[in-house]
Chains A and B, each alone.
Chain A
Amino acid sequence: MELYLGLALSSSSSSASSCSSQFDLNCHESTIPVHRSKKRKHDDDYDHVPQTLPLLVWNNNFCCNKNQLNEEHQDHDNDGDDDDEVESNSISVRHRNIGGVIGWPPVKLCRRKVCHRKIGNGGGGDDGDGGGSKSMYVKVHMEGIGIARKVDLNMHQSYQTLVLTLANMFGKCYGDVKLTYQDKEGDWLLAGDVPWGSFIKTIQRLKLLKK
């Protein structure tokens, strides 16, 4: 079976000449059989040059669509198993990052180091209160760096901002580090598993590890 991909645009698009042409991947010499999804009923409609798009509407969040995708590909010749769901899940887990979205905003590493150098509250920051509230300073070590720093946990309400601050403090990119902490019992744990409130109550010191 061959894959015929006819792509017709609505006439509301411009004067560009390519608008109304059909795009046929099979105009290349060799035709390599490709599995065609039997669920794609719309393929037959392409001959009629539909006025409206879209070809395929996706939800921004791929995970929401994973069930829809499973249905569409049930008849796919080379996989009849239910592993699609597992694989789709793994994509979302993969992209979730305790520091937030990787590489956004698009600011180079050397520039990220400038941030968090707030002015107006004095350069030091280690002494005195910020805005009248109580400070909660804990020691932070970075793997491979001898000198420890201190961070005021009361300035943060989430793991995200904490990791970002710490990463910047040591001139690292937050995607390259993972945060661990020592709790009241002396155990070292990976940060992020417990709610922030519980974390604050039990944390003794922090350590940033390279990923």
Chain B
Amino acid sequence: MACSFPEEVLEHVFSFLTSQKDRNAVSVVCKSWYEMERWCRKRIFVGNCYSVNPRIMIRRFPEVKSVELKGKPHFADFNLVPEGWGGFVYPWIVEIARGYPWLEEIRLKRMVVTDECLEMISKSFKNFKVLVLSSCEGFSTDGLAAIVANCRNLRVLDLRECEVEELSGHWLSHFPDSFTSLESLNMACLLSEVSFSALERLVARSPNLKTLRLNRTVPLEKLSTLLQRAPQLVDFGTGAYSAEIRPDVYSSLADAFSGCKNLKSLSGFWDVTPAYLPAICSVCSLLTSLNLSYATTQSPDLTKIVGQCYNLQRLVVLDYIEDTGLNTISISCKDLRELVVFPSDPFVADADVLLTEQGLVSVSQGCPKLQSVLYFCRQMSNSALISISKNRPNLTCFRLCIIEPRAPDYVTLEPLDVGFGSVVENCKQLTRLSMSGLLTDRVFEYIGTHAKNLDMLSIAFAGDSDLGLHHVLSGCDSLRKLEIRDCPFGDKALLANASKLERMRSLWMSSCFVSFGACKLLGQKMPGLNVEVIDERENISSIPECTPVEKVYIYRTVSGQRFDIPDYVRIMGKDKDGVYDLS
């Protein structure tokens, strides 16, 4: 079969394809396209580090410059995955160091990264530029020091919500004096103090610095110094935003902020002293993103500020904003795309703040571009959910957490099936959904029927029977990630929809009714899946097959058996060489 385009032309065309999905599609057109595409792919995203072996990846894509990996399942964020489960990036770093000496970017999420890994990264890649670690753990400030000292071309060091062993704040001082390429530094999750003078000098010699997110230890009084050194900042995160109220401190801070003409994003704001909030007023109209979720300030102070952010697209805030604050936002922030409201006191059943479903309804009414919602509240009604869905059929991500498990519609005391059903029916582009409250199998019927674009679904304390799970697995054509906890779903739906699991990235089920026997059967019958039973009870091997497992994590894989599992994880249906276990 003759190919009418010369290779160079095709390669040039392919270079415009950046999405992995498009590139994957291109690579299956024909053999020659497969070959061409694999030689020019520069970025790789692996959504589950156990789904593929790094050697396979390197063999297929020899010219990669950027690797992104994800490790632990999402529910690890909420302590549902025991310590030591996995997600160790070390074997990947070893292979990548060998296979991609010119690698420039590494992005990791929910992985265990040791100091040894960081040292290896810092020494193996001569042109290393970008390190982003999200929700990672296992390393200390010594590892950071190695990166900072050795990566001469580093542009981005972004630590998002990592758990770091903090031996000292000295790591920052390891940036060489000759180092001037820094574009982005996010150290917000670190707890220890860094040398302010080292920080100031670093900022002063980084003309391309666009993102600077400080940690809590940088005092408010020093912020103006830094802002004056970096008026070109686009994304700034303060430290603890509290100090004695002093007019000179206030005015230098306000002046410093007003000098930042490119500022688009603000965050930080721990322990806010409300009197200092108006210092940011001069930049409010510039902001597209504002994160006040650590600001334990009352509604009026918050609202005064947020109400001035006319161009705001993304807002993250605590429920201190209350319904009144959200109402103001619905009037003032017409460009809002994403709203996140976290609970100030998640472990208390009764509300201490006046945040109800009304706040969300107002925003859905007033903000025509609203697409993404994460909302924690203590009461919800079907009618509110129906309103929200009718107001905002353009929603793509809807995550609602009603604090009390199985809470019904607070008005009618009925399940919230109809409300969520309305969401999936009206919001046809919905790709992510998290539900809570009292829900029966009915809601899953609605989801299976309507949620054809749903990519990720999170379920907790919901449903009545296997039928619920069956509706989801058989009806949601685009579903790739499903995570379930404390639902009465058992073997039948899982086994009946076994082939669906191969078309998904992963399925997590914990505190459900899936039995050992079913897991074993699934593992035996489906060679393309790893069926991991995660169970910390003793004497697991003598537990009867009908007993439900504590947790099961099922994911498709071409890399076969894992060799790094702790003793409470069993990969069912396969022996240690990855061969079927028929016993």
Residues of A within 8 A of B (CB): 3, 5, 7, 9, 13-16, 18, 23, 25, 28, 30, 32, 34-35, 53-60, 62, 69, 73, 76, 78-79, 83-84, 87-88, 90-91, 94-95, 100-112, 114-120, 161, 164, 173, 175-176
Contact = CB atoms under 8 A, between A and B. Distances in A.
A109 B297 CA distance: 20
B495 A25 contact: yes
Contacts of B524: 32
Contacts of B342: 107, 111, 114
A73 B546 contact: yes
A115 B346 contact: yes
A60 B488 contact: yes
B401 A83 contact: no
Interface stretch (B9-17, B276-284, B464-472): B464-472
B582 interface: yes
A44 B521 CA distance: 22
Interface string B276-303: 0000000000000000011011100000
Interface string B534-547: 00110000011111
B161 interface: yes
B296 A110 contact: no
B479 to A, nearest CB: 13
B525 A28 contact: yes
Contact of B464 (A25, A54, A76, A106): A54
Contacts of B293: 111, 114
A88 B547 contact: yes
B161 A108 contact: yes
A112 B492 CA distance: 37
Nearest to B436: A105
A76 B517 CA distance: 12
The prevalent SS among residues of A at the interface is: loop
7 contacts: A5-B496, A14-B445, A55-B470, A102-B78, A114-B296, A117-B296, A120-B298
A106 B498 CA distance: 28
A115 B189 contact: no
B345 A56 contact: no
A114 B295 CA distance: 9
Interface residues of B, number: 68
A115 B488 contact: no
Contacts of A73: 544, 546
B465 A55 contact: yes
Given A35-B517, A108-B77, 10 more contacts: A7-B470, A7-B493, A13-B449, A14-B449, A56-B466, A76-B545, A105-B376, A106-B78, A114-B294, A117-B296
Contacts, number: 168
Nearest to B274: A119
Interface in B445-495: 445, 448-450, 460-461, 464-467, 470-471, 474-475, 485-486, 488, 490, 492-493, 495
Interface in B319-347: 342-347
Contacts of A23: 474, 496-497
Contacts of A7: 470, 492-493, 496
Contacts of B496: 5, 7, 23, 25
B27 interface: no
B465 A105 contact: no
A94 B376 contact: no
B550 A94 contact: yes
A84 B75 CA distance: 29
Interface string B368-402: 00000000100000000000000000000000010
Nearest to B348: A161
B161 A76 contact: no
Contact of B465 (A18, A58, A94): A58
Contacts of A84: 544, 546-547
Contact of B474 (A18, A88, A104): A18
Contacts of B543: 87
Nearest to A16: B475
Contacts of B297: 119
B525 A106 contact: no
B486 to A, nearest CB: 8
* Complex A-B, nearest 7 residue pairs according to Cβ-Cβ distance, in ascending order: A103-B78, A58-B488, A14-B449, A23-B496, A54-B465, A79-B544, A7-B496
A34 B495 CA distance: 12
B544 A32 contact: no
B548 interface: yes
Interface string B512-532: 010001000100110000000
